[in-house]
């Protein structure tokens, strides 16, 4: 996925925009949608990014809190052993860490 695809997916997952289009914001402060977009623009790289759905083989349930509450703060940007980048929730992050640890252990026992 691209940075812009991740941002669009994130906005859909958290249900933005939250204000009806005809409703005027309460202040001149950036609204939540602008905040989320700004944070993700600054964090996500301009390279191809793997998302949680690409790790379905791990058979874990994604964390709703990471995806739907404050994804711009709770999701994890990881560099995978393959050199690829991933934007994943805590459930997928832990499953990837367990997979990596299991892989390292099996490598040591096979030597």
The pTM of the full predicted model, rounded to 2 decimals, is: 0.79
User: Residue 89's pLDDT is what?
Assistant: 97
Q: How many domains does the chain have?
A: 1
* Least confident range of 10-19, 21-30, 82-91, 100-109: 21-30
DSSP string across the chain: --HHHHHHHHHHHTT---S-TTSPPSSSS--HHHHHHHHHHHHS-SS-EEEGGGGGGG--PPPHIIIII-HHHHSEEEE-TTS-EEEE-HHHHHHHHHHHHHHHHHHHHT-
- Mean pLDDT, the chain, integer: 86
Residue 71 has pLDDT above 70, yes or no: yes
Domain that holds residue 40: 3-109
Q: Is residue 26 over pLDDT 70?
A: no
Tokens representing 43? 């964090």
pLDDT of residue 7: 94
pLDDT for 102 equals: 74
């Amino acid at each position: 996925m691209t940075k812009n695809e991740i941002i669009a997916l994130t906005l859909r997952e958290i249900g933005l925009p939250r204000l009806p289009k005809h409703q005027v914001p309460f202040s001149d402060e950036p609204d939540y949608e602008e905040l989320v977009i700004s944070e993700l623009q600054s964090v996500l790289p301009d390279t191809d990014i793997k998302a949680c759905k690409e790790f379905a083989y791990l058979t874990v349930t994604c964390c709703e809190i990471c995806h739907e509450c404050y994804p711009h703060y709770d999701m994890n940007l990881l560099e995978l052993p393959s050199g690829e980048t991933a934007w994943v929730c805590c459930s997928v992050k832990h499953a990837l860490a367990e997979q990596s640890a299991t892989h390292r252990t099996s490598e040591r026992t096979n030597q």
